[in-house]
Amino acid sequence: MTAVIPFLDIAAGHSELRSELDAAYRRVVDSSWFILGTECAAFEGEFAQFCGAQHCIGVGNGLDALHLILRAMDIGPGDEVIVPSNTFIATWLAVTHAGATVVPVEPVETTHNIDPTLIEAAITPRTRAIMPVHLYGQPADMAPIVEIAARRGLKVIEDAAQAHGATYMGTRTGMLGDAAAFSFYPGKNLGALGDGGAVVTNDSALADRVRELSNYGSRQKYVHESIGYNTRLDELQAAFLRAKLRHLDSWNARRAAIAERYISRLAGADVVLPVVIDAAQPVWHLFVVRTSKREQVIRALAAAGIGVQIHYPIPAGRSSAYAGTSVAQADYPLADTLSREVMSLPIGPHLTIEQADLVCDALHFALGSG
Ligand SMILES: *Cc1c(COP(=O)(O)O)cnc(C)c1O
């Protein structure tokens, strides 16, 4: 087999939107205004509307979005934040940068999202917030999480970096907690042509504080109220994102069609397929399967020209970054096991059904089931 199927074909997306992206670029260059201008303000309004939110603040990237939310909530040294044991390391880094302590909680085995039934046992008098991640584009099981948070006086901060447009009980991510962080890293479902991120919330005071922190702790030029940062969504990225946001729902629908195809074509294969909870409508940022024969399968798919990735090969708490801290020794066997067994198949709005079928054929062949 000689099919060459990339893990994600970003170029195909950009050639589809070529003229819109060119027009966005020209608008910004012609305006000669590159930071905190009309494109950023317009995108913030459009993305807030997309999420159903009152406020959106464009920032430099998803990590900064998470970090600014924590800072704006005055969560810092001495405080604890509950995070999934199984997530991209940025979730953890935001907490660590804020000076607070990460408290990992294991996932549900079927969805890989944080297990709400394990959260209460992880709460201490120092706990300030729960930070669920909508991993792979599927909303975490938010109803019990929000219920625990309300009862225990905690904030809920959504890490929605992989879940633009996903819904839980009909509500879009971004509106499922007190505040949410999005990333517009190029490979995300809504990706810029560089770095970008946003904070979304209905809390006006929080939004105001995030905006101030993102712009040198300033609300008014040269008046600095706090030790802020420089992390803003620039005009060029905002203009590109406005063009791409118009296609997000249809591109997410194409991802869902691929996921549906994989689920039906791989039903008999010796891999564990993704499980979607009734309340959730995922946007399939990733299509993650689980197999104890991962190395063998990846070798076979690579030989067939199919791009496969692993999300994530090392749990955040096992990375060198956290060596010597208490979380490095903590027990999270499921995150450890998943890191050894998960692999992500190609998925994206520009993968064709025919390509998905080739991936399935190659996977069946690798597993000896086809
Ligand atoms: C991508 C990602 C982030 C960080 O976003 P950046 O824009 O790369 O900083 C945070 N959390 C999760 C779950 C992500 O996938």
DSSP annotation string for 191-214: --SS--EEEEES-HHHHHHHHHHH
Q: Give the pTM.
A: 0.98
Is 288 in contact with 136 (CB distance < 8 Å)?
Answer: yes
Distance CA 232, CA 290 (A): 38
Of the candidates 285, 45, 258, the one whose C-alpha atom is nearest the C-alpha of residue 185 is 285
Is there a shared CATH topology between the 10-245 domain and the 248-367 domain?
no
Q: Look at residue 1 and tell me whether its pLDDT is greater than 50.
A: no
Distance CA 289, CA 262 (A): 10
Is 244 in contact with 17 (CB distance < 8 Å)?
Answer: yes
Greatest Cα-to-Cα distance within the chain, rounded to the nearest angstrom: 67
pLDDT for 369:
78
Domain segments of the chain: what residues? 10-245, 248-367
**Average pLDDT, stretch 173-178?**
98
pLDDT for 341:
98
**Average pLDDT, stretch 61-65?**
98
Centre of ligand 1 to C-alpha 332, Å, is 21
What Å distances lie between residue 287 and 25, 228, 309, CA to CA? Answer: 32, 38, 10
Distance CA 280, CA 135 (A): 12
Centre of ligand 1 to C-alpha 192, Å, is 13
Helices (H), the chain: 10-16, 18-31, 38-51, 62-72, 89-97, 142-152, 204-214, 235-245, 248-265, 294-303, 326-329, 333-341, 353-367
**Average pLDDT, stretch 325-354?**
96
Q: Look at residue 2 and tell me whether its pLDDT is greater than 70.
A: no
**Average pLDDT, stretch 169-179?**
98
User: How far is C-alpha 249 from the chain's CA centre?
Assistant: 16
Q: Look at residue 356 and tell me whether its pLDDT is greater than 80.
A: yes
Report the share of the chain in percent with pLDDT over 90: 97
Centre of ligand 1 to C-alpha 179, Å, is 15
Q: Which atom of ligand 1 is nearest to the CA of 285?
A: 15
Amino acid residing at 97: H
Of the candidates 104, 130, 108, 125, the one whose C-alpha atom is nearest the C-alpha of residue 117 is 108
pLDDT for 35:
97
Q: Is the CB of 189 under 6 A from ligand 1?
A: no
What is 248-367's CATH superfamily? Aspartate Aminotransferase, domain 1 (3.90.1150.10)
Q: Within 10 Å of residue 364's Cβ, how many Cβ atoms?
A: 17
- Eight-class DSSP state of 274: P
Centre of ligand 1 to C-alpha 354, Å, is 30
Written as six digits, the tokens of 211 are 């905006």
**Average pLDDT, stretch 346-358?**
97
Distance CA 101, CA 75 (A): 10
Q: Is the CB of 162 under 6 A from ligand 1?
A: yes
Is 218 in contact with 224 (CB distance < 8 Å)?
Answer: yes
Q: What's the chain's average pLDDT?
A: 97
Centre of ligand 1 to C-alpha 90, Å, is 6
Q: Look at residue 3 and tell me whether its pLDDT is greater than 90.
A: no
Q: Whose CA is nearest to atom 6 of ligand 1?
A: 62
Give 328's contacts (C-beta < 8 A, 6+ positions apart).
317, 318, 322
pLDDT for 370:
59
Distance CA 159, CA 311 (A): 16
Assigned CATH topology for domain 10-245: Aspartate Aminotransferase; domain 2 (3.40.640)
Task: Name the CA radius of gyration of the chain, rounded.
Answer: 21
pLDDT for 368:
87
Q: Which atom of ligand 1 is nearest to the CA of 197?
A: 7
